[in-house]
Amino acid sequence: MPVQLNRGIILVSLVLLEITACNPFIQANQDDHISSPQHRDSVADSTKLIPVETFSSDYFPCSDCHSEIPLNPQRRELVEMHDDIVFDHDSENRWCLACHNESNRDSLVLAGGKLLGFNESYKLCGQCHGPKIRDWKLGIHGKRTGQWNGQKQYLLCVHCHDPHSPKFKKLQPMPPPRRPEDIKIDSIYEREEKDSTSP
């Protein structure tokens, strides 16, 4: 009898385990909230992307010059225009036309050929930097301002990173902050005491 009871308990336990493991309402994928179309679209719905205002009137719109210049897709050193740009962004495998559209220079281009405005550059960055764009959308990477339950503002990747050379330059370390016990506090109360006791 006890052997049959143990088998029954084991059988019921296995059935319950099977039910809970296969039930989509009980089992949740941790990445569902990140990868779902609703969440991807929610970045645009609940936030305001800060526009990119880094264009100089000397260069933008790009089509002012590039509509008259014949296309030269060869990788080369730029000597006449854009010679101030230092390109250090996977430079062995990429060049200008990996991100800038060859026929419409006022647009960026995704790997699949879709054109983007410069204010959507984060989508271009996200093609190669998936974990960073995920963290950016969640507010872990980058800068976000606003209210937790209200309108939020996101800085785009290019607000902090130069798109042509995105690594931050090395910084000279500063001395450590002073320890609290090394800081002399001359509070108002101490000054009042000194003033009241002085002759």
Per-domain residue ranges for the chain?
Answer: 1-28
The most distant pair of C-alpha atoms in the chain lies apart, rounded to whole Å, by 100
- pLDDT value at residue 81: 83
Q: 180: pLDDT confidence band, cut at 50, 70 and 90?
A: confident
In which residue are the tokens 């994928």 written? 29
Query: What are 118-168's pLDDT values in tens digits?
Result: 889 999 999 999 999 999 988 899 888 888 788 888 889 988 998 998 888
Share of the chain above pLDDT 70, in %: 67
In which residue are the tokens 């093609």 written? 127
Spatial distance between the Cα atoms of 174 and 154, rounded to a whole number of angstroms: 29
Residue 108 exposed, middle or buried by CB count within 10 Å (0-12, 13-18, 19+)? buried
Report the range out of 3-17, 52-66, 80-94 with the highest average pLDDT.
Answer: 80-94
- pLDDT value at residue 76: 82
Query: What are 67-77's pLDDT values in tens digits?
Result: 888 888 888 88
Query: What are 31-46's pLDDT values in tens digits?
Result: 444 444 554 444 545 5
Spatial distance between the Cα atoms of 55 and 9, rounded to a whole number of angstroms: 71
> Structure pTM?
0.58
- pLDDT value at residue 191: 64
